[in-house]
């Protein structure tokens, strides 16, 4: 079956791979679904604040979300209703997140079906769908989570290819090919952190994954320079806050944001130090309630995914434990760290804060979907013992009866092989 399609464009032909075509089709269908169920106008609470602040190019509540505000402001210029535009932006970001989840699974497993299953299950998850139809800052966080994982999958693949290419050379990786993905990951990760610092919790295991894939990085500090520069560049969107506050920018309620022009005020705002008492509240202040918070975990996942999806996630754990334990460490570590911090945080929007967890779990689900390679391995496992037994019968008959019974042995062999091929499933 062809893996590319040729589309005639005048005298030239545009070559599009089948996976890319599937990504475009899935993005279009997801965007159509979310647009049909989109909230059409102004919303209350935080969503309404973001719609207002983006329209007037102001400053949102801590940590400020500068990248989201600027992109939302530019995007809303194309629509008569800024509120509708911000809602539609979430639908677009959600659809892009699904494509990146699909590509991450496909890169990790080689399974198009697994990638499609992961994207479909995440698309139908209760909170993900809700966030894809309203203005919010959770969807960009989910997008950066998926983008980081996909880039790391490409990085792992590039490192493996570099090792195979340099097998005859000294065991030292050439920095050129894999490091471009490391630079891209560093940039995406820091942009995600500049949007919302909570990405640091799964991000800790992103960094662990990088070192597990290529431990030689520790001994090659020169390879840190370009990723380090890219990482610092990712925080440039934060400059919007002091510049906008110095030029008359205000908060949603119209109050002046002049304090953000000062380094101390800016740092406090970006780190959201006004919410310090809420972080790990159920660990430090009310540890007696932590067990009750942890008891919510099964309900939270059941609220998002059905039993079949949860079982596929469990199967994904088993599959990755055998085939890609480094990826398993990253996914389970990121899920556990972010989930614990969320449950220990005093806030009512727990299901929304878990958006990065849903992305990581969807990738785990996709890794649990059986592939054609799995079927071939299963067939081989079934066929091998039966074939060996038939061969043993033939050789034993040949030894006893010798040449005079050659015809009988041949008949016995035919009988056993026919029984074997009768029960073997079609390849």
203, HSE (Cβ side, Cα atoms, 13 Å): 21
The last residue of a domain, from among 370, 398, 413:
370
Has residue 204 been placed in a domain? yes
Residues 283 and 157 in one domain: yes
As a whole number of angstroms, the distance between CA 336 and CA 392 comes to 51
Has residue 58 been placed in a domain? no
Residues 365 and 379 in one domain: no
Has residue 160 been placed in a domain? yes
Residues 177 and 203 in one domain: yes
pLDDT of residue 245: 92
Residues 406 and 293 in one domain: no
Residues 287 and 416 in one domain: no
Which two structure tokens, joined as six digits, stand for 333?
Answer: 């570590």
Residues 277 and 416 in one domain: no
Has residue 187 been placed in a domain? yes
Residues 312 and 356 in one domain: yes
The last residue of a domain, from among 325, 342, 370:
370
- pLDDT tens for 341-400 read 999 999 888 999 999 999 999 999 999 998 755 544 434 443 444 344 444 433 444 433
Has residue 52 been placed in a domain? no
pLDDT of residue 374: 52
As a whole number of angstroms, the distance between CA 51 and CA 136 comes to 9
Residues 403 and 298 in one domain: no
pLDDT of residue 165: 78
State how many domains the chain has. Answer: 2
Has residue 85 been placed in a domain? yes
Task: Concatenate the DSSP letters of all residues of 172-222 into one string.
Answer: ---SHHHHHHHHHHHHHHHHHHHH-GGGHHHHHHHHHHHHHH-GGGGG-GG
DSSP category for residue 426 = P
Residues 224 and 95 in one domain: yes
* pLDDT tens per residue across all 427 residues of the chain: 447 766 676 677 777 788 889 999 999 999 999 999 999 988 988 999 999 999 999 999 999 999 999 999 999 999 999 999 999 999 999 999 999 999 999 999 999 999 999 999 999 999 999 999 999 999 999 999 999 999 999 999 999 998 887 654 544 444 457 899 999 999 999 999 999 999 999 999 999 999 999 999 999 999 999 999 999 999 999 999 999 999 988 998 889 898 999 999 999 999 888 888 888 999 999 999 999 999 999 999 999 999 999 999 999 999 999 999 999 999 999 999 999 999 999 988 899 999 999 999 999 999 999 875 554 443 444 344 434 444 443 344 443 334 444 333 344 434 343 443 344 344 3
Residues 312 and 378 in one domain: no
The dihedrals phi and psi of 140, each to the nearest 5 degrees, come to -60, -35
The last residue of a domain, from among 347, 370, 393:
370
Rounded to 5°, angle at Cα 129 from 124 and 130: 145
Residues 365 and 334 in one domain: yes
pLDDT of residue 253: 87
Which two structure tokens, joined as six digits, stand for 330?
Answer: 């990253």
Domain range for 399 = 374-423
- pLDDT tens for 222-236 read 999 999 999 999 999
Residues 313 and 386 in one domain: no
pLDDT of residue 347: 86
User: In angstroms, what CA-CA distances link 41 with 17, 38, 68, 193?
Assistant: 38, 9, 18, 29
Which of 359, 378, 411, 392 minimizes the C-alpha distance to 97? 359
The dihedrals phi and psi of 139, each to the nearest 5 degrees, come to -65, -40
Has residue 7 been placed in a domain? no
Do residues 247 and 57 make contact, with C-beta atoms less than 8 angstroms apart? no
As a whole number of angstroms, the distance between CA 146 and CA 200 comes to 14
Has residue 46 been placed in a domain? no
């Amino acid at each position: 079956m062809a893996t590319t399609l040729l589309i005639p464009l005048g005298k030239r032909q545009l070559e599009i791979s089948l996976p890319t075509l599937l990504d475009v089709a899935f993005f279009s269908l997801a965007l159509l679904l979310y647009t049909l169920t989109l909230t059409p106008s102004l919303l209350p609470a935080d969503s309404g604040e973001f719609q207002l602040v983006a329209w007037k190019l102001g400053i949102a509540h801590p940590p400020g979300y500068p990248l989201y505000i600027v992109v939302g402001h530019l995007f809303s210029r194309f629509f008569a209703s800024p509120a509708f535009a911000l809602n539609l932006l979430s639908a677009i970001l959600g659809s892009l997140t699904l494509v990146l989840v699909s590509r991450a699974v496909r890169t990790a497993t080689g399974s198009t079906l697994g990638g499609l299953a992961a994207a479909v299950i995440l698309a139908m998850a209760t909170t993900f769908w809700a966030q894809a139809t309203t203005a919010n800052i959770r969807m960009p966080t989910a997008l950066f989570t998926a983008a980081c994982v996909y880039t790391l999958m490409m990085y792992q693949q590039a490192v493996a290819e570099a090792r195979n290419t340099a097998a005859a050379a000294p065991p030292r990786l050439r920095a050129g090919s894999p490091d471009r993905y490391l630079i891209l990951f560093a940039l995406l990760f820091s942009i995600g952190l500049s949007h919302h610092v909570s990405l640091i919790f799964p991000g800790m295991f992103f960094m662990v994954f990088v070192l597990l894939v290529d431990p030689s990085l520790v001994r090659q500090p020169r390879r840190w320079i370009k990723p380090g520069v890219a990482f610092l560049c990712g925080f440039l969107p934060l400059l919007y806050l002091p510049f906008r506050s110095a030029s008359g920018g205000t908060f949603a309620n119209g109050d002046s944001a002049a304090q953000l022009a000062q380094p101390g005020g800016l740092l406090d705002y970006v780190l959201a130090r006004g919410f310090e008492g809420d972080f790990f509240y159920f660990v430090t202040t009310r540890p007696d309630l932590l067990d009750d918070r942890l008891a919510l975990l099964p309900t939270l996942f059941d609220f998002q995914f059905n039993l079949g999806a949860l079982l596929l996630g469990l199967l994904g754990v088993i599959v990755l434990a055998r085939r890609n334990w480094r990826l398993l460490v990253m996914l389970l570590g990121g899920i556990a760290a972010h989930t614990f911090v969320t449950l220990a945080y005093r806030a009512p929007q727990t299901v929304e804060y878990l958006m990065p967890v849903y992305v990581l779990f969807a990738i785990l689900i996709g890794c649990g979907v059986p592939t054609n390679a799995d079927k071939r391995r299963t067939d081989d496992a079934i066929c091998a013992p039966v074939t060996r037994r038939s061969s043993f019968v033939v050789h034993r008959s040949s030894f006893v009866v010798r040449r005079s019974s050659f015809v009988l042995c041949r008949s016995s062999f035919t009988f056993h092989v026919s029984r074997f091929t009768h029960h073997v499933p079609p390849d």
